[in-house]
Structure 1
Amino acid sequence: MLSRRELTLLRAMYQCGTVTAAGASIGMTQPAASTLLRTMETRLGFALFSRQNRRLQLTSQGRALIPDALNALAGMEAVDRLAGDIRQGSTSRLVIGAVAIAASSILPSALAIVRREHPGIAVTVRAGTALEIIEMAVDQRIDLGLIVGTLVEKDRVASLALAPMSLYAVMHAAHPWAQRQGLSLKEIAHAGPIVLATTLPAGRVTRQVMEAARLPYQPIMEVGQSSAACGLAAQGLGIAIVETLGARYAQRQRLVARHLLAVPEIGLGLVWSHDRTMSQPAETLRSSLIAEAASVV
């Protein structure tokens, strides 16, 4: 049986890709981490990682072991959290993964309903990209994940599409174009927009649709969050292109949002583990998010 220390190192190496980085992330020196890995592999009777271009890659045996190893460690951590909750007088915890813009736009009102119906619930919200949140669901590190992106079929993960997404132009109310009801992507492209990074689904789609339309992709700024793009627009630094949730956030900040085009490639969705029974608070949150998503256009 693998010890908790070994499981923790295994997860860190899977996430970090090098022994040095993995050891540092869990407070171990590189020699100590290497020794523990060798001991683990000797006892198991097979190699867990192979080295490729100075990074570690799971072997076929390692890939077979890692899902259950991560689940085992997640279970241990869940027991620790529950014990802590019991000591503090709370016996129930809800762990949510959410992309940043969903956490600041659609999640708060849904959580308010959960707190009303389950006043003793302890809530943890973990941030991440859509792919990171899907992995959290696979590893059972979250009860529910709220993502903006493409819902993919993946073993051990269930998903539910909540709402389609569109691209919007966001600007300060004093911007010369703010009084116009119709804006085209062509106009904004030639003006030089503030865009989301292409590592984000909405940012990637923005670039793709511009290039497909033979428009210049020459942003004046590129940022990693819709809220940051809205903040720059609020300072009068230009017009930002964000997805539907970003536009909703912008309107709450008294900015002007104009619809540009629908992007069926991405949507708002929920993910959760197939292998974990959903708690009543999680069920309440899922129902609340479904209802809240009905207002997302």
Structure 2
Amino acid sequence: MFSRRELLLLRAMYQHRTVTAAAASINMTQPAASALLRDMEIRLGFLLFSREKRRLQLTSQARTLIPEVLNALAGIESVERLAGDIRQGTMARLVVGAVAIAASSLLPPALMRIRKAHSELAVTLRAGTALEIIEMAVDHRIDLGVIVGTVADNERVSSVQLAPLSLYAICRKDHPWAARRDLSLAEVAMAGPIVLATALPAGRATRQVMEAEGLPYRPMMEAMQSSSACALAAEGLGVAIVESLGARYAQRQGLAAMHLMALEDPVLALVWSRDRSMSMPAQQLHEVLMQQVDAW
């Protein structure tokens, strides 16, 4: 009764709520999308959307259809992925999305464990910001996502907290502070640290904590990635403040990492699509990541 194009348009309308945005997301023109919606409504015999305050809202009939539309598309896409894997000689595939620091510190050892147990598994790793990873999960472009942030009351994705995060000071091992076990955030703040940009959850938390404690926020440098902040510290340009994953990365690079304070927010979290069940490889990675974080 529905073509794949119609199913894609219904899912896009559910996600974007406007014909223009929905059409653009699936490479259709707005007039073509509007015409297709009208054709579907005529064929079905009921309205799919009503206009309220210049935005389209799903009718009760459409809301009844949407879960099955999402399941149908997920099934089609799963069959297509499986067919592609069979064609390429691979029977299992795992697509993971991760923020940059998780991709370079947390995921490699976890994926090594998965690959040792399942050598036939093909893995695709996609990087992005936390918001981009969530969108990838919503659009079924990844099986599992690893983010630094908070997923609050999001109806489109499921999530679980992997671990709380802390702030760490990073410096070279020949730095006078490298052996300190009682280093305070105040000392690092007064020295003019290298910080993460406030566009990042951990960078924003760093600034908020400093301001809450009445400390000056006068960073010497800002970095858009924890690995970049660590690299600057490695060159002797100063002491960097990064989150737990950045500290783990720094230690692997031979740098000193001193704990400064625990954070309530952001957290390290996993996200996946709410519209379909997690694949078996994704479930296995989920378990491995939980064990790995517990061990850390």
Q: Which residue pairs with 2:268 in the alignment?
A: 268
Residue 30 of structure 2 corresponds to 34
* Amino acid in the other structure paired with 1:147: I
Q: Unpaired runs of 5+ in structure 2? A: 42-46
Question: For each residue in 1:5-53, what CA deviation from the matched residue of structure 2 results, as whole angstroms up to 9, or x when unmatched?
Answer: 56667878967x9969975x87x6xxx7233233234334579799x9x
- Compute the displacement of 1:86 (Å): 0.6
Count of residues in Structure 1 that have an aligned counterpart in Structure 2: 287
Residues 173, 2 of structure 1: alpha-carbon distance in 2 compared, 3 angstrom cutoff: farther
Alignment of 1:162-177 (within 5 A): 162-177=162-177
Deviates more, 1:6-15 or 1:225-234: 6-15
Corresponding residue of 1:141: 141
- Give me the whole-angstrom Cα distance separating, in 2, the residues matched to 1:222 and 1:67: 44
Question: Retained in 2: the 8 A contact 1:71–1:139?
Answer: no
RMSD: 3.5
Cα pair 1:94 1:282 within 8 Å, conserved: yes
In the TM superposition, residue 93 of structure 1 has moved relative to its aligned partner by 1.1
Residues 108-133 of structure 1: CA distance to partner in whole angstroms, max 9, x if unpaired?
11111111222111112222222333
Query: In structure 2, what is the Cα distance between the partners aligned to 1:269 and 1:99?
Result: 11
My pick for the range that moved more, 210-219 or 35-44, is: 35-44
**What is the identity percentage for the equivalent residue pairs of Structure 1 and Structure 2?**
59
Q: 1:59 to 1:238 in 2, by over 3 A?
A: farther
> 1:142 Cα shift?
2.5
**Deviation of the 1:79 alpha carbon:** 3.0
1:55-204 superposed matches below 5 A: 59-61=56-58, 75-155=75-155, 157-204=157-204
- 2:164 is paired with a residue whose SS is strand
Please show how residues 276-295 of structure 1 align to structure 2 within 5 Å: 276-295=276-295
Query: 5+ unaligned residues in a row in structure 1: which ranges?
Result: none
Distance 1:229 1:4 in 2: 46
Aligned partner letter, 1:38 = S
Question: Which segment drifts farther, 207-216 or 155-164?
Answer: 155-164
Amino acid at match of 1:171: C
Deviations 1:242-286 (A, max 9, x none): 100100000100111111100022222222334433333222212
| In 2, Cα distance between equivalents of 1:174 and 1:3 | 65
**How many Å separate the matches in 2 of 1:143 and 1:225?**
24
2:19–2:30 contact (8 Å) kept in structure 1 = no
Q: How many angstroms apart in 1 are the aligned matches of 2:98 and 2:166?
A: 19
Identify the match of residue 43 of structure 1 among 15, 39, 44.
Answer: 39
- The whole-number CA distance in structure 2 between the counterparts of 1:281 and 1:221 is 40
- In the other structure, the counterpart of 2:44 is none
Relative to structure 1, is the Cα distance of residues 259 and 75 closer, same or farther in structure 2, using a 3 angstrom cutoff? same
Distance of 1:220 and 1:105 partners within structure 2:
25
Q: Is the 8 A contact 1:151 1:161 kept in 2?
A: no
Cα distance in 2 for residues equivalent to 1:273 and 1:18: 23
TM-score normalised by length of structure 1: 0.80
Which amino acid is the alignment partner of residue 113 of structure 1?
R
Contact 2:97 2:128 in 1 (8 A): yes
| TM-score of the aligned structures, taking structure 2 as reference length | 0.80
For 1:115, the aligned partner's letter is R
The letter for the 2-side match of 1:221 is M
